[in-house]
Amino acid sequence: DFTGGIEQRFEFKSNLSLTHLNENDLFDFIKSCIDYGSLIACSINADKRKIESVLPNGLVIGHTYSITNYYILPIKYDNNLSDRNLIRLRNPWGNDIEWNGKWSDADPIWNLFDEKTRKRLSIQRKHDGEFWMSFKDFYKEFDVMEVCHISPDTYDEFGLTIQDSKHHWRMWYALGSWRAGENSGGSCATLGCRHGCYYWRNPQFIIELTLNRTFNSNRLCMMIIALMQKPITNNSNEQYIQIRLFRIKPNVKICEKKIYKPDEVERIASTGPYVNRREVSLLLKTTTGAYLIVPSMADVDQNCDFLLRIFSQDTTIGRTFVNIFANDNHEDQIHQNLDQQHSIPEQTPSKL
């Protein structure tokens, strides 16, 4: 709420596959998040009786740590050069309760490195709550990681926006709504959805992704899509919501005021099962092209407003359309809202 960013939650032992990331991708994702100014926290699950108990390895369970940096450390062993992926964490208590395993402040392995390397990584035996550990141990010991991706128009303490920095997300957003009897089509459990349900009455958002000129056309680009609901009244319960992402087939013409059908698109991702949360998000790496985003509620004919946001890296979001199955007056209003407030101005492309 304080940042206005997009929140993501990763549970390493259960739902990592839903994020379309595997363990090997996760370190690259953390690198990218830090480079792009995202805020990252992590914790170890615990029952209420053991919250903030200290493990023999120095980690505190049921306690939130922040991830403050990463480093890829080259190591020479038997004339072979390999890399160690390291993660720097901080215990907000800021005391001597720190990780005491491999790559910790007191680990003798640091004596094998020159002073320049130790200084670059700020290796010192201080009781400040900050420490390094290998990514492998991080993934093994921690259960949950939560990320807040900062909007590019957010100001820092120096009065500069995030988009003034070397790396920043590109953002596109639109306000929309579901209305009973118009475009509140509900859910559909059938993958092909050819049996005449109302799912395809839901709002449809079309985006075209193109890579910046500095990148090869075969490069995958990272994209985050987030759907936040806004109940009609303060007393309204949160609806069960979901996003589905489809790739528009190459032979299908892309145009405004067209309602796309199942045989014109290919489903490639979703936020998972419908959940009654204020916001759901989807992270994936994808290629350039035209995509269809369909936000929906589980129940048909419910009223609710929503905010749809897209954060992308290394890409330019080209043409964007919103198609809505509704009466003409309501559709025109949606188009006007989209035209007036749909984007943040493009900045100079930057490379990771």
Distance CA 213, CA 189 (A): 40
- For residue 219, with 0-12 CB atoms within 10 Å meaning exposed, 13-18 middle and 19 or more buried, which class applies? middle
CB-count burial class (<10 Å; 0-12, 13-18, 19+) for 282: buried
Distance, CA of 97 to CA of 51 (rounded, Å): 15
3-state class (DSSP) for residue 24 = helix
How far apart CA 179 and CA 185 sit, in angstroms, is 9
Evaluate whether 306 touches 229 at the Cβ level (below 8 Å): yes
Q: Which of 15, 24, 57, 63 is catalytic?
A: 63
Which one of 85, 91, 183, 202 is the catalytic residue?
Answer: 91
Task: Report the candidate in 242, 250, 260 with the shortest Cα–Cα distance to residue 206.
Answer: 260
Neighbours of 288 (CB within 10 A): 18
The residue type at 351? K
- Catalytic annotation present for 100: no
63 is catalytic: yes
Ramachandran region of residue 327, left (φ > 0), alpha (ψ -120 to 50) or beta?
Answer: beta
Q: Which residues are catalytic?
A: 63, 91
